[in-house]
Amino acid sequence: MNWNKWVRQIHRWLAIVFTVTVIVTFVALAQEEPLVWVSYVPLLPLFLLLFTGLYLFVLPYATKWRKARRTTPSAAES
């Protein structure tokens, strides 16, 4: 499995973890005496989702840029 597939798989699992932590947070805050610190639990998977999502977003542009660099001759070669 190459690097891009690993990042995509991690992103999918992080999305599941984030969804579960948000549900747990809603349940915990609906209690009689809510634990306020529980509202910070979804932030870790959210930040990890941000980084993996940005990587996946930029990936097509980076590959297109890399392919264009390989096919275009540089000024030194002319």
User: Taking all residues of the chain, what is their mean pLDDT, rounded to a whole number?
Assistant: 88
C-alpha distances (whole Å) from 8 to each of 13, 21, 72 are: 9, 20, 30
Give the pTM: 0.77
Question: Any idea which residue has 């996946």 for tokens?
Answer: 56
Write down the pLDDT at residue 18. Answer: 97
Chain segment 29-62, per-residue pLDDT in tens: 999 998 889 999 999 999 999 999 999 999 888 8
